[in-house]
Structure 1
Amino acid sequence: MIKEYNPVWNLDSIFEGGSASPELQEHMKWTEDNISELKELMQKVTPGPEQLADALERLRVIKVSISQARSFSICLLSVNPTDQGAQFYRGETTTFQSTYESIISELKRKLARIGEEEWKSMLDSKNLKEYRFVLEEWRTEAEREPSREVLDLMTDGYHAWGQFYQSFMSSIRVRVKGEELSVGQAINLRSHADESVRKESHEALVEKWTELEGQFAQILNHLTGFRLNMYKSMGVEDVLQIPLTQNRLKPKTLNAMLSVMEKYKEPFAEYLNVKARMNGDTKMKSYHFWSPMNHDHQGMEYGEAASLIEERFRAFGPEMGQFAETAFREGWVEAENRPGKSAVAICAGFPLTGESRVFMTFPGTFKGVLTLVHELGHAFHNHAMKSVNGMNKSYPMSMAETASTFAEMVILEAAMDKAETDEEKLFLLDEKLKRSVMNFMNLHARFTFEKNVHEERRKGFIPAARLNELMESALEEGYAGALDEVPVHSWIWTPHFYRTDSPFYNFPYTFGYLLALHLFARAKETGKGFEERYMDLLRDSGRMSAEDLVMKHLGEDITNEAFWEKGMELCVKDSEEFVRLAGFK
Structure 2
Amino acid sequence: MRYTPTLTRDANASAGGKNLGDLPEWDLSDLYTAPDAPELKRDLDWLEDACRSFAADYEGKLDSLSAGEFLTLVQRNEKIGAIAGRIMSFAGLRYYQMTMDAERAKFLSDCQEKITNYTTPLVFFSLEINRLPEDHYADLFAANDELARYKPAFDRQRAMKPYQLSDELEKFLHDLGVVGDAWERLFDETIAGLTFEVDGEELNIESTLNFLTEQDRSKREAAARELARVFAANIRTFARVHNTQAKEKEVLDRWRGMPSPQMGRHLSNDVEPEVVEALRNAVVKAYPRLSHRYYELKRKWLGLDRMQVWDRNAPLPMEVTRTVSWDEARETVMNAYSAFDPRMGELAQPFFDKGWIDAPVKPGKAPGAFAHPTVTDVHPYVMLNYLGKPRDVMTLAHELGHGVHQVLAAGQGEMLSSTPLTLAETASVFGEMLTFQRMLENAKDDKERKVLLAGKVEDMINTVVRQIAFYDFECKLHDARRGGELTPDDINALWMSVQAESLGEAFDFMEGYETFWAYIPHFVHSPFYVYAYAFGDGLVNALYAAYQESPEGFQDKYFDMLKAGGSKHHKALLEPFGLDATDPTFWDKGLSMIEGFIDQLEAMEE
Q: TM-score range by the shorter chain?
A: over 0.9
Greater CA drift, 434-443 or 161-170? 434-443
Decide whether aligned partners of structure 1 residues 100 and 371 sit closer, same or farther in structure 2, where only a CA change above 3 A counts. farther
Mapped to 2, the partners of 1:28 and 1:193 lie a distance apart of 52
**Residue 209 of structure 2 is aligned to residue 187 of structure 1:** yes
**Residue 24 of structure 2 is aligned to residue 7 of structure 1:** yes
1:271-290 mapped onto 2 (5 Å cutoff): 271-290=294-313
**Residue 570 of structure 2 is aligned to residue 546 of structure 1:** yes
Quote how far apart the aligned CAs of 1:89 are. 3.5
Question: Counterpart in 2 of 1:203?
Answer: 225
**Residue 515 of structure 2 is aligned to residue 489 of structure 1:** yes
Cα deviations by residue, 1:5-29 (Å, 9 ceiling, x for unpaired)? 5422222343223x34443333333
Mapped to 2, the partners of 1:566 and 1:212 lie a distance apart of 42
Mapped to 2, the partners of 1:446 and 1:100 lie a distance apart of 37
TM (norm. structure 1) is 0.93
Decide whether aligned partners of structure 1 residues 248 and 104 sit closer, same or farther in structure 2, where only a CA change above 3 A counts. farther
Question: Counterpart in 2 of 1:301?
Answer: 325
Greater CA drift, 178-187 or 201-210? 178-187
Decide whether aligned partners of structure 1 residues 189 and 68 sit closer, same or farther in structure 2, where only a CA change above 3 A counts. farther
Mapped to 2, the partners of 1:103 and 1:553 lie a distance apart of 42
Quote how far apart the aligned CAs of 1:142 are. 2.3
Quote how far apart the aligned CAs of 1:272 are. 0.5
2:471–2:530 Cα contact (<8 Å) kept: yes
Mapped to 2, the partners of 1:142 and 1:13 lie a distance apart of 37
1:185–1:343 Cα contact (<8 Å) kept: no
Mapped to 2, the partners of 1:478 and 1:515 lie a distance apart of 21
The percent identity for this pair of structures is 23
- One-letter amino acid of the structure 1 residue matched with residue 188 of structure 2: Q
Mapped to 2, the partners of 1:321 and 1:437 lie a distance apart of 28
Question: Counterpart in 2 of 1:131?
Answer: 150
Quote how far apart the aligned CAs of 1:46 are. 2.6
Greater CA drift, 87-96 or 333-342? 87-96
Greater CA drift, 46-55 or 167-176? 46-55
Match of 1:484, SS state, is coil
1:277–1:283 Cα contact (<8 Å) kept: no
- What is the aligned-residue RMSD (CA, Å)? 2.2
Cα deviations by residue, 1:526-569 (Å, 9 ceiling, x for unpaired)? 4475333212112224022223322x332322122211111111
Cα deviations by residue, 1:14-59 (Å, 9 ceiling, x for unpaired)? 3223x34443333333333323332333324334222321121111
Question: Counterpart in 2 of 1:32?
Answer: 48
Question: Counterpart in 2 of 1:570?
Answer: 593
Cα deviations by residue, 1:142-180 (Å, 9 ceiling, x for unpaired)? 231353244235323222211221122111111122222
1:65–1:352 Cα contact (<8 Å) kept: no
Mapped to 2, the partners of 1:104 and 1:561 lie a distance apart of 41
Mapped to 2, the partners of 1:189 and 1:568 lie a distance apart of 29
Decide whether aligned partners of structure 1 residues 130 and 476 sit closer, same or farther in structure 2, where only a CA change above 3 A counts. same
Quote how far apart the aligned CAs of 1:266 are. 1.5
2:471–2:531 Cα contact (<8 Å) kept: yes
**Residue 56 of structure 2 is aligned to residue 76 of structure 1:** no
**Residue 155 of structure 2 is aligned to residue 169 of structure 1:** no
- One-letter amino acid of the structure 1 residue matched with residue 603 of structure 2: R
Decide whether aligned partners of structure 1 residues 228 and 105 sit closer, same or farther in structure 2, where only a CA change above 3 A counts. same
1:181-330 mapped onto 2 (5 Å cutoff): 181-268=203-290, 269-293=292-316, 294-296=318-320, 298-330=322-354
Question: Counterpart in 1 of 2:395?
Answer: 371
Quote how far apart the aligned CAs of 1:83 are. 2.8
TM (norm. structure 2) is 0.90
Quote how far apart the aligned CAs of 1:136 are. 2.2
Quote how far apart the aligned CAs of 1:104 are. 6.0
1:185–1:339 Cα contact (<8 Å) kept: no
Quote how far apart the aligned CAs of 1:481 are. 4.0
Match of 1:284, SS state, is coil
Q: Indicate which of 571, 579, 584 corresponds to 2:602.
A: 579
Cα deviations by residue, 1:369-419 (Å, 9 ceiling, x for unpaired)? 111221111111111112112211121111111221111111011111222
Mapped to 1, the partners of 2:414 and 2:383 lie a distance apart of 24
- One-letter amino acid of the structure 2 residue matched with residue 43 of structure 1: E
Question: Counterpart in 1 of 2:8?
Answer: none
Quote how far apart the aligned CAs of 1:366 are. 0.9
- One-letter amino acid of the structure 1 residue matched with residue 61 of structure 2: V
- One-letter amino acid of the structure 2 residue matched with residue 535 of structure 1: F
Decide whether aligned partners of structure 1 residues 522 and 100 sit closer, same or farther in structure 2, where only a CA change above 3 A counts. farther
Cα deviations by residue, 1:219-275 (Å, 9 ceiling, x for unpaired)? 100000001101111111311211111111112211221221122112221111121
Mapped to 2, the partners of 1:94 and 1:167 lie a distance apart of 17
Mapped to 2, the partners of 1:321 and 1:297 lie a distance apart of 29
Mapped to 1, the partners of 2:307 and 2:49 lie a distance apart of 57
**Residue 423 of structure 2 is aligned to residue 384 of structure 1:** no
Match of 2:373, SS state, is strand
Q: Indicate which of 476, 480, 495 corresponds to 1:456.
A: 480
- One-letter amino acid of the structure 2 residue matched with residue 50 of structure 1: G
1:42–1:103 Cα contact (<8 Å) kept: no
Quote how far apart the aligned CAs of 1:207 are. 0.5
Quote how far apart the aligned CAs of 1:580 are. 2.5
**Residue 164 of structure 2 is aligned to residue 145 of structure 1:** yes
Quote how far apart the aligned CAs of 1:101 are. 7.2
Question: Counterpart in 2 of 1:469?
Answer: 493
Q: Comparing both chains, which one has the higher relative contact order based on Cα–Cα distances under 8 Å and sequence gaps of 6 or more?
A: 2
Quote how far apart the aligned CAs of 1:469 are. 0.7
1:445–1:479 Cα contact (<8 Å) kept: no
**Residue 423 of structure 2 is aligned to residue 396 of structure 1:** no
Quote how far apart the aligned CAs of 1:96 are. 5.7
Q: Indicate which of 100, 105, 112 corresponds to 1:94.
A: 112
2:32–2:40 Cα contact (<8 Å) kept: yes
- One-letter amino acid of the structure 2 residue matched with residue 189 of structure 1: F
- One-letter amino acid of the structure 2 residue matched with residue 388 of structure 1: Q
Question: Counterpart in 2 of 1:46?
Answer: 62
Greater CA drift, 480-489 or 439-448? 480-489
- One-letter amino acid of the structure 2 residue matched with residue 8 of structure 1: E
2:51–2:119 Cα contact (<8 Å) kept: no
Greater CA drift, 384-393 or 108-117? 108-117
Match of 2:202, SS state, is strand
Mapped to 1, the partners of 2:438 and 2:595 lie a distance apart of 19
1:256–1:560 Cα contact (<8 Å) kept: no
Greater CA drift, 268-277 or 207-216? 268-277
Decide whether aligned partners of structure 1 residues 265 and 474 sit closer, same or farther in structure 2, where only a CA change above 3 A counts. same
* Structure 2 residue runs without a partner (length 5+): 1-19
Quote how far apart the aligned CAs of 1:460 are. 1.0
Q: Indicate which of 94, 106, 118 corresponds to 2:136.
A: 118
Mapped to 1, the partners of 2:565 and 2:504 lie a distance apart of 34
Greater CA drift, 156-165 or 32-41? 32-41
Q: Indicate which of 441, 459, 472 corresponds to 1:435.
A: 459
Question: Counterpart in 2 of 1:560?
Answer: 583
Q: Indicate which of 168, 176, 180 corresponds to 1:154.
A: 176
Match of 2:238, SS state, is helix
Q: Indicate which of 356, 365, 373 corresponds to 1:341.
A: 365
Question: Counterpart in 2 of 1:56?
Answer: 74
- One-letter amino acid of the structure 2 residue matched with residue 42 of structure 1: Y
2:156–2:267 Cα contact (<8 Å) kept: no
2:159–2:267 Cα contact (<8 Å) kept: no
